[in-house]
């Protein structure tokens, strides 16, 4: 959903403006521009990881969706960002905006979904805020967690020659996966413990956009192979027809809300990563889609040769 403001400033420009001159202090290891904030609060051996996210009615969910799936999605999005940092979420607070006349069964259903996911990942829900809204229902979750000091993974560490991997299958998430996905916390933890990726991000805006975020932060480029992109069955089903700009590959490159992991590792580790992953997570596909280059830009190799990837991506105000 391209969602420009009335003056035509898109989400990335807005964030760039708002974050240009924010106060920081000595605790800040990673601030705006990464999946999570990372803080040094003097905890021995660990850094503190901090993140917030929001869902808004009719933007991220509709009232027709089963309420537990809404609650699941709200928390899963936050936990997916913890996965991107290879961090462990510990506790969350929930801010809820409701109209004066609200449906109690609906909100209790949302909390059922929240509670189930939080319990599975041992995330304590430790408070929050309920407020009245004249507009749509919204649900905002902030979470705090930790990561070992030497195992935090950020977007900025990709190095020329690195192999680029993605988990799962991409595109067509709107068919349902965006409501039911499981955050890749276990996979990220395993990666950090065994290979320590140079850079990692969770795919929320779409492969092309999110890989660009990694490349921008890492001051590098990438070359990916069209025939290696793991296109989901949902994307193949949804995108039939002759227009390649609307085809399954375009969907896999540009559809948002896949919530898979994209990461880079030294090329010498690529085979061991693939073999280890297959043994550890046999139900989750892992694909090497290309490599990091010193030449900036994102290029894709297909039957016509090598070309620049256009400005694909799901831009939104979330």
Provide the 3-class DSSP secondary structure of residue 167. Answer: strand
The C-alpha atoms of residue 186 and residue 86 are separated, in whole angstroms, by 9
CA 156 to chain centre: 15
Which residue lies nearer to Mg ion by CB, 206 or 230? 206
The C-alpha atoms of residue 79 and residue 145 are separated, in whole angstroms, by 10
Q: How far is the CB of 78 from Mg ion (least distance, A)?
A: 10
Which residue lies nearer to Mg ion by CB, 155 or 293? 155
Q: How far is the CB of 51 from Mg ion (least distance, A)?
A: 9
Give rounded-to-5 percent helix, strand, coil for the chain.
Answer: 35, 30, 40
Q: How far is the CB of 31 from Mg ion (least distance, A)?
A: 15
CB 77 within 8 A of CB 142: no
Stretch that binds Mg ion, among 31-39, 187-195, 214-222, 302-310 (CB under 5 A): 31-39
Which residue lies nearer to Mg ion by CB, 33 or 276? 33
Stretch that binds Mg ion, among 93-101, 110-118, 135-143, 198-206 (CB under 5 A): 198-206
CB 231 within 8 A of CB 298: no
Residue of 200, 209, 228 lying closest to 287 (CA atoms): 228
Q: How far is the CB of 305 from Mg ion (least distance, A)?
A: 32
The C-alpha atoms of residue 180 and residue 160 are separated, in whole angstroms, by 35
Q: For Mg ion, which residue has the nearest CB?
A: 35
| DSSP code of residue 61 | B
Which residue lies nearer to Mg ion by CB, 81 or 182? 81
The C-alpha atoms of residue 94 and residue 185 are separated, in whole angstroms, by 20
Q: How far is the CB of 63 from Mg ion (least distance, A)?
A: 26
Residue 14's H or E segment, with its range, is helix 11-18
Interface with Mg ion (CB under 5 A), residue total 4
Residue of 215, 225, 211 lying closest to 260 (CA atoms): 211
Q: How far is the CB of 201 from Mg ion (least distance, A)?
A: 6
- Tokens 């510990």 label which residue? 90
Which residue lies nearer to Mg ion by CB, 202 or 255? 202
Task: Find residue 261's DSSP bridge partners.
Answer: 202
Among 202, 255, 257, 258, binds Mg ion (CB under 5 A): 202
Q: How far is the CB of 204 from Mg ion (least distance, A)?
A: 5
The two structure tokens encoding residue 16: 């760039």
| 81 touching Mg ion, by CB under 5 A | yes
Which residue lies nearer to Mg ion by CB, 145 or 248? 145
| 260 touching Mg ion, by CB under 5 A | no
Which residue lies nearer to Mg ion by CB, 207 or 270? 207
Which residue lies nearer to Mg ion by CB, 187 or 202? 202
CB atoms within 10 A of CB 130: 11
x/- map, 38-77, Mg ion, by CB under 5 A: ----------------------------------------
Among 34, 35, 53, 257, binds Mg ion (CB under 5 A): 35
CB atoms within 10 A of CB 217: 18
Interface with Mg ion (CB under 5 A): 35, 81, 202, 204
């Amino acid at each position: 959903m391209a969602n420009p403001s009335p003056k035509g400033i898109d989400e990335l420009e807005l964030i760039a403006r708002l974050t240009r001159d924010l106060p920081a202090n000595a605790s800040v290891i990673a601030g705006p521009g990464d999946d999570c904030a990372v803080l040094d609060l003097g905890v021995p051996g660990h850094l503190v990881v901090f993140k917030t996210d929001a869902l808004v009615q009719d933007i991220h969910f509709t009232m027709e969706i089963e309420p537990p799936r809404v609650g699941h999605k709200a928390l899963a999005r936050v936990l997916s960002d913890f996965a991107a940092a290879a961090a462990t979420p510990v506790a969350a607070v929930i801010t809820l905006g409701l109209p004066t006349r609200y449906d109690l069964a609906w909100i209790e259903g949302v909390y059922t979904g929240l509670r189930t996911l939080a319990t599975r990942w041992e995330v304590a829900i430790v408070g929050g805020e309920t407020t009245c809204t004249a507009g749509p229902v919204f649900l905002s979750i902030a979470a705090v967690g930790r990561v070992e000091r030497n195992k935090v993974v950020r977007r900025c560490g990709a190095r020329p020659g690195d192999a680029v991997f993605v988990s799962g299958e991409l595109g067509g998430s709107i068919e349902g996966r965006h409501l039911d996905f499981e955050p890749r916390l276990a996979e990220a933890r395993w990666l950090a413990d065994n290979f320590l990726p140079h850079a990692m991000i969770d795919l929320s805006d779409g492969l092309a956009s999110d890989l660009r975020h990694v490349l921008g932060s890492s001051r590098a480029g990438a070359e990916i192979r069209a025939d290696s992109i793991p296109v989901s069955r949902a994307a193949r089903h949804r995108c039939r027809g002759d227009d390649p700009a609307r085809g399954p590959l375009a969907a896999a490159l540009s559809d948002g809300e896949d919530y898979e992991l994209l990461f880079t590792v030294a090329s010498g580790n690529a085979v061991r990563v693939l073999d280890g992953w297959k043994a550890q997570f046999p139900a989750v596909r892992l694909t090497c889609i290309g490599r990091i280059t010193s030449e900036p830009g994102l290029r894709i190799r297909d039957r016509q040769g090598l070309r620049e990837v256009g400005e694909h991506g799901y831009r939104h105000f979330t």
